């Protein structure tokens, strides 16, 4: 079945450090891939998405590239800020209206 | 910007009581979902709803759970007889549908069963 495996947290970085959060997936078809972010006390917000192999999703300085050969969708940011502190979820969806499969979430804390 | 809204933000209930969690999806969306997140665990799919019927449900969504779209704008999740293990954050989501469209999530309702 479909699943998402995400890097264990928590992750603590200093401001302006480079961020990578690993995500790999298992799917029977050709899923769309997503990163959602959950800020403290808030719901899940879409951060970025990619819908086919080699697509790069980007938003707010975050990027992730859909790698079919390695079944990965790693999240990266070149220089994190304190305001990026949140929980990040990798997710996939295979069909119209189909359920989203989420990873376990990775908690990121950025310290000044 | 349109958003999914959920009420209440926090509900405390006694074991065995019925609860109804309410959601107002984005108005032109066609697919509706409930997810839950037990503290410290994964976000888990419960059910999806399309064209006034359940389109998919997980093993978690047993006979104690039901969903309804009573009036064309609200989307509710009912738990008939709550158990301690139902304590979780419950997220409603909606999507327009079509391939590759993302789901938009509400802020969640934290359900505490005591």
A78-102 pLDDT, tens digit per residue, is: 999 999 999 999 999 886 667 888 9
Q: What is the pLDDT of chain A when averaged over all its residues?
A: 92
* pLDDT digit string (tens) for chain B, length 114 residues: 779 999 999 999 999 999 999 999 999 899 999 999 998 788 899 999 998 999 989 999 999 999 999 887 899 999 999 999 999 999 999 998 766 678 899 999 999 999
Interchain CB contact of A81 with B (< 8 Å)? no
What is the C-alpha to C-alpha distance for residues A20 and A39, in angstroms, rounded to an integer? 18
What is the C-alpha to C-alpha distance for residues B89 and B108, in angstroms, rounded to an integer? 6
Residue B8's pLDDT is 95
Is A97's CB within 8 Å of B43's CB? no
Residue B94's pLDDT is 93
Burial of residue B52 (number of CB atoms within 10 Å: 0-12, 13-18, 19+): exposed
Residue of B nearest to A40 (CA): B107
Is A44's CB within 8 Å of B43's CB? yes
The full length of chain A comes to: 112
- Contacts across the A-B interface (CB distance below 8 Å): 63
Residue A97's pLDDT is 61
């Amino acid at each position: 079945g479909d699943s998402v495996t995400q890097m264990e947290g928590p992750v603590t970085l200093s401001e302006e450090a480079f961020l990578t959060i690993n995500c790999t997936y298992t799917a029977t078809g050709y899923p769309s891939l997503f990163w959602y972010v959950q800020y403290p006390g808030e719901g899940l917000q879409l951060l970025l998405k990619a819908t086919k192999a080699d697509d790069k999703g980007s938003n707010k300085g975050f990027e992730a590239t859909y790698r079919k050969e390695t079944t990965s969708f790693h999240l990266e940011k070149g220089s994190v800020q304190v305001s990026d502190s949140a929980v990040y979820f990798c997710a996939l969806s295979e069909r119209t209206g189909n359920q989203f499969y989420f990873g376990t979430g990775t908690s990121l804390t950025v310290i000044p | 910007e349109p958003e999914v809204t959920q009420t209440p933000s926090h509900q405390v209930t006694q074991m065995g009581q019925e609860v109804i969690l309410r959601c107002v999806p984005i108005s032109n969306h066609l697919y509706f979902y409930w997810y839950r997140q037990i503290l410290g665990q994964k976000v888990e799919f419960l059910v999806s709803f399309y064209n006034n019927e359940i389109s998919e449900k997980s093993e978690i969504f047993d006979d104690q759970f039901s969903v309804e779209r009573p009036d064309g704008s609200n989307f509710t999740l009912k738990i008939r007889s709550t158990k301690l293990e139902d304590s979780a954050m419950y997220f409603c989501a909606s999507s327009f549908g079509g391939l590759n469209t993302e789901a938009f999530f509400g802020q969640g309702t934290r359900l505490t069963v005591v």
